[in-house]
Amino acid sequence: MRKIPVTAAALSISLLLASAPEAMAASATNKTTTTKPTAKETTKKPVVHTLANLSAVKITAKSTVSLTDVNILTQDEESILTYTLTIKNGDNKPLDLLDYWSKVKTASGTSYSTSLMSKDKDKKKLSAGSSTTLTYVAKVGKDMKISNLVFQVVKWDFSQPGYEALKGQFKVPANYLTSTPADQSKTIRISDVPVKAMVKQVAAYTSGDYNYVSVGLNLQNIGYRIFEDPKVKFVIKTSNGASYPMSADSTSTEYKIQPQDNKTLNLMTAIPKSIKLTNMELQWVQDDETAKMSLPVATMQLPGAADKSLATEANEEKSISLGSGKITASVSGMTMNQSFDEHDLSVRVLLRNTSGTTVTLPKYQFELQTSDGYRLPISSSAIENVVLQPLEEKVFSLAVTIPANVKADNSQLFMNLPSASDSKDNFKYPVAIFTLPESQPVQNMIGQKQYVQTGKGIVGFELSSLQRLPWSDGDQVAAKITISNTGSKTILLPELLGQIKIDSAKLTADTKLITSQSVGLLGANSSTDVYIISKVPSNIDFSQLQISLLEKVGEGSSEWMQFSHAGALPELTTITSGSSYEIDTSGRKQELKVLRSFVYTGTSSDLIYAELEEKNMEDHQIDLSQITGSFKASGGQTYKATVSQIDTSAGPEEKSVVALWAKIPKKVSTTDMKLVVGEGITDNKMTPIKGVPTGYVNAAALELNISTPNVRGNLADLDLFPYSLTVRDVRATLSGSTSVSLTFDYSQNRNMEYAIGEFGHKYLFEVVDSSNRTFEKEFIPETDLKLSKSASASFSFDDIVFDKRQGGTFQLNIYDLFQGQKVKLGSQGFYYLSSNYDKE
């Protein structure tokens, strides 16, 4: 960023200056100016600013002509003179204006060609008892003084030499000045509408090599017809004779003024700092189509321009007129998020409609101007197309990034009207300048509450937690923000977005905002949680995290609240073995507790497995959170878990089983392994039932007491939670051929306190013959084996080893079979029975 001069945004307009009269110390030229005479000098004559004392010229017995205005515009090679004659017809018949003309000469006799301004060329008749004005134009010498000119009124008379008869002439006094004193008004007829003009304020602001001068010019329509913008131009003429064109703000370029109404035009120009801002004049200039030149209309003296601070202090209101309405603006707070090579500044501005009419705000342009001369524009779509109802107020957060080597102390916030569309200077006009309060650093804000006054009441914000969670394609950073309504009325939250910066690098592609409830209503004295989630590479380290909560506005967004954290993120909360983890999400409070965890031993890899109890803690039926997570080894390795849980709603106090498992290398130690679990999220909401999570929030690390299930020496009370199986009266019958039929009685019950989802476990019956041949059969609980206190089942197997065998022994092993891996539950030896034995 380069250092550039502060533009006209550093200047105030009339509304800004209304509250700072001390900044407008006038240096008006008095009507009578005297100096102390020397020995050779006498007292100067009084300065005259009016032509009223000049005698009128009679052109008929009852009709007169008066010289009522004279203006001169100095240019590089010549000066443009305009003068106005006011004609009054006192006769009882129309006056033919074509019979009369005006000429201008020097006292020495040099004549100048004159012409009528375009607006007066069609004036040919003047009704009896009425009056009109005719304005003439002439080019005169560059240094010509008006007191050296003679203004003549002639009548065309073809009986006279030269065909004209001199009716009279005007000689302007030597002590006459064309400019109107700074403390006085001037009535000007423009487009035949009388307008009373008066300079209300003048201010200057120095920046770089320029003084930026602002003039507030009030126009009052004192006529009986509407006054429409005549496209008059304005020029500041300095004491050395140089002229500087002025630009108008966007509200001053096209306008209409009703009779007896008024409007303040806001004008601005840049003048080199070497030029003194004393004895300046404001000149009115109007383009004339016929003359093809710019003509002077009026000249007004300007009071001295004060170079003083015009800023409104923090938390103080600045009143701003806006058409027929009025608003107030104030800066209510500021935070600074310091980073390595830049600082993020957030300024909170409150705008309030104090009038009884609806107002539409202009597209205000905000700008931060630092104490060392840098100008930083602030863009925010939140201030576009804003309509405020009577007494309505809105709060806007303005975010701007400041390079670390630029001082942020003693900065000011400029609230500018946009520059006029045809402005070549691109000036911006501040309706308010604010002194910014001392910034509040936003570091390590977990658990800190902030409150913001909005149009709906006071809203609280808290960064409740920051978590870095393992995921399949990297890590996820999850920020939990609690929004609370401290008022007594329900409010509607805006549509929100989230943004995360890591060491000043903005994460955009995968950043999402998750809401815990689908409706944006927030009841009185209640709160809700939102989550801002983004993905980061699992191997990246960072030292600073910045979180912004944004309000969506049209196609853009505006910052609502900002948080920051420096240093390492907090470790996940660890839930000790046997304790419950409480998920406190509003409307879906639940408890999780580890029921059991063990390892299925495989040939090339193992399967780590855990079962959780998930309990609904609400007093109504809810859709339980869809649990997701990862197994984390003591060495830091993580393994994303596959999850199975119920796919129906759960009633109050209802318990269900959540099963999680993951394949792990055989070399990984399961000692001190933890299960990181949380509530699943999908897109921009909590994962619905049967949905596929794309991440998770509200995570905790559950300690696992990984154990090897006890292998029972019999087949009684085999635990396949929530099932329990007892096998008895096992009979394996040899048929004398190669086949064997095995029959058994069993009882199976289920713990009905728990609901289960898709149950992936099976019983695996394994017959190990004395010859070490094995034979297997799978049974699905409640499908192949019923819930019963007494039932029987059978299966058969075939092998050449049994051909003509009459007896022998075998071992019956029963396993928990899951995902192709198995854990032995019980084992018992039995004898074969011969089919001949059955016949006996």
The three-state secondary structure class of 508 is: coil
Per the listing, tokens 């074969």 go with: 832
Rounded to whole angstroms, the Cα distance separating 794 from 661 reads 31
Q: Which residues of 789-817 are buried (b: 16+ CB within 10 A; e: fewer)?
A: eeeebebebeeeebeebeeeebebbbbbb
The three-state secondary structure class of 774 is: strand
- % of the chain exceeding 70 in pLDDT: 89
Cβ contact 113:136 at 8 Å: no
What is residue 11's predicted lDDT score, i.e. its pLDDT? 36
What is residue 19's predicted lDDT score, i.e. its pLDDT? 37
What is residue 12's predicted lDDT score, i.e. its pLDDT? 36
Q: Sorting pLDDT into bands at 50, 70 and 90, what band is 252?
A: low
What is residue 426's predicted lDDT score, i.e. its pLDDT? 58
Which residue, 624, 606, 615, is CA-closest to 661? 606
pLDDT in tens, 49-67: 788 889 999 999 999 999 9
Q: Which option is the CATH number for 718-839: 1.10.1670, 2.60.40, 2.30.31, 2.60.98?
A: 2.60.40
**Least confident range of 394-398, 528-532, 617-621, 756-760:** 394-398
Rounded to whole angstroms, the Cα distance separating 37 from 125 reads 52
CATH number for the domain running over 449-566: 2.60.40.10
Rounded to whole angstroms, the Cα distance separating 296 from 233 reads 9
Amino acid identity, residue 314? A
Rounded to whole angstroms, the Cα distance separating 461 from 463 reads 7
pLDDT in tens, 84-96: 999 999 999 999 9
Q: How many CB atoms lie within 10 A of CB 386?
A: 17
Amino acid identity, residue 680? G
Question: Which range has highest mean pLDDT (151-160, 174-183, 684-693, 720-729)?
Answer: 720-729
Which residue, 354, 362, 357, 351, is CA-closest to 324? 357
Q: Where are the beta strands (DSSP E) in 157-280?
A: 164-171, 186-190, 193-207, 210-221, 227-228, 233-237, 243-245, 247-248, 256-257, 262-272
Where are the CATH 2.60.40.10 domain residues in the chain? Answer: 449-566
Residue 311 has pLDDT above 80, yes or no: no
pLDDT in tens, 376-434: 888 877 777 888 999 888 888 888 888 877 877 778 888 887 765 555 555 666 778 88
- Mean pLDDT for all residues in the chain: 85
Q: Sorting pLDDT into bands at 50, 70 and 90, what band is 840?
A: very low
Categorise residue 385: left if φ over 0, alpha if ψ from -120 to 50, beta otherwise.
Answer: left
Per the listing, tokens 């064997």 go with: 740
Q: Across residues 439-447, what is the average pLDDT?
A: 70
- DSSP, res 550: E
Rounded to whole angstroms, the Cα distance separating 23 from 309 reads 8
Where are the CATH 2.60.40.1240 domain residues in the chain? Answer: 8-27+179-301, 57-171, 318-441, 574-703
* Count of helices and strands (H, E) across the chain: 2, 64
What is residue 44's predicted lDDT score, i.e. its pLDDT? 56
Rounded to whole angstroms, the Cα distance separating 162 from 169 reads 17
More confident residue, 217 or 838: 217
Rounded to whole angstroms, the Cα distance separating 720 from 657 reads 13
Residue 499 has pLDDT above 90, yes or no: no
- % of the chain exceeding 90 in pLDDT: 45
Q: Across residues 514-534, what is the average pLDDT?
A: 84
The three-state secondary structure class of 64 is: strand
The two beta strands, 695-703 and 674-682, are: antiparallel
CATH topology of domain 574-703: Immunoglobulin-like (2.60.40)
State both tokens at 408.
């942020």
CA-CA-CA-CA torsion for 40, 42, 47, 48, nearest 10 degrees? -120
CATH topology of domain 57-171: Immunoglobulin-like (2.60.40)
CATH topology of domain 318-441: Immunoglobulin-like (2.60.40)
Residue 292 has φ and ψ, to the nearest 5°, of: 55, 40
Residue 16 has pLDDT above 70, yes or no: no
Rounded to whole angstroms, the Cα distance separating 785 from 793 reads 8
Q: Sorting pLDDT into bands at 50, 70 and 90, what band is 30?
A: very low
What is residue 8's predicted lDDT score, i.e. its pLDDT? 36
Record the pTM: 0.64
What is residue 40's predicted lDDT score, i.e. its pLDDT? 44
Q: Sorting pLDDT into bands at 50, 70 and 90, what band is 511?
A: confident
Residue 87 has φ and ψ, to the nearest 5°, of: -110, 125
Q: Where are the beta strands (DSSP E) in 601-753?
A: 605-616, 627-632, 638-640, 642-644, 655-665, 674-682, 685-686, 695-703, 718-720, 723-734, 739-750
Question: Which range has highest mean pLDDT (116-125, 330-339, 784-793)?
Answer: 784-793
Rounded to whole angstroms, the Cα distance separating 172 from 169 reads 10
Which residue, 815, 574, 824, is CA-closest to 704? 574
What is the greatest pairwise CA distance in the chain? 168
- DSSP, res 772: S
CA-CA-CA-CA torsion for 191, 195, 200, 204, nearest 10 degrees? 10
What is residue 52's predicted lDDT score, i.e. its pLDDT? 84
Q: Across residues 583-606, what is the average pLDDT?
A: 91
What is residue 73's predicted lDDT score, i.e. its pLDDT? 87
State both tokens at 554.
């049209």
More confident residue, 576 or 241: 576
Q: Across residues 608-630, what is the average pLDDT?
A: 94
State both tokens at 341.
């090579």
Say yes or no: domain 8-27+179-301 is CATH 2.60.40.1240. Answer: yes
**Least confident range of 126-135, 490-499, 579-588:** 490-499
State both tokens at 645.
């849980």
Residue 658 has pLDDT above 90, yes or no: yes
Cβ contact 473:535 at 8 Å: yes
Per the listing, tokens 């996940």 go with: 572
